[in-house]
Amino acid sequence: MLRLRPYRLDDEAAAVAADEALRAEDFPFLLRAPDRTWAEFVQDQRDHVYVRTLPGEWPPGTQLAAVDDDVLVGRVSLRFALTNPFLLEHGGHVGYAVVPTWRGRGYATEMLRQAVIVLRAHGVERILVTCDVANDASRRVIEKNGGRFERLSAVDADGGPDRRYWIE
């Protein structure tokens, strides 16, 4: 059974391996500033300190490990507010990734379902979720979680075009 939980000190090897696997797809698994040790990263997530590498004002948020039988199969990154132009137009409240070897088993769909519950517990009522226009798997994940298509995002220095959805 899949569950989301905070990262722990003993997750480092699995998380770094997942990050390397996702880097081949140019998608970061771990959103971690290079100057943060694993222990500091774990504490940052518990303190809801978001990523320190990105410019702009970053809201409170956290990254959670997605585990099945305590095996790391994916992660979600949660933003509890949309405080900068990138998040407002492209990033949204939640991002997710599944380790390549664990795909196609419904994990991402379940991760987004649980992420919505966590976001709501932090006061986010309307949840913005976006995906690249070419990302059919992510589009399905969002639609299966009740995402209502709003519009294509702008194409600008921050990215795009993305498909923008709201989960009410």
Ligand X SMILES: CC(C)(COP(=O)(O)OP(=O)(O)OC[C@H]1O[C@@H](n2cnc3c(N)ncnc32)[C@H](O)[C@@H]1OP(=O)(O)O)[C@@H](O)C(=O)NCCC(=O)NCCS
**Residues contributing to the site for ligand X (CB under 6 A):** 25, 27, 95-98, 103-109, 131, 135-138, 140-141
Q: Which residue has the tokens 């991402």?
A: 108
Closer Cβ to ligand X, 62 or 153, answer by number: 153
CA distance 107 to 109: 5
Q: Are strands 127-132 and 94-98 parallel, antiparallel or unpaired?
A: unpaired
Smallest gap from Cβ 43 to ligand X, in A, equals 26
Smallest gap from Cβ 39 to ligand X, in A, equals 26
Smallest gap from Cβ 112 to ligand X, in A, equals 8
Closer Cβ to ligand X, 120 or 140, answer by number: 140
75 beta partners: 65, 97
Q: Tokens standing for 18? A: 């997942």
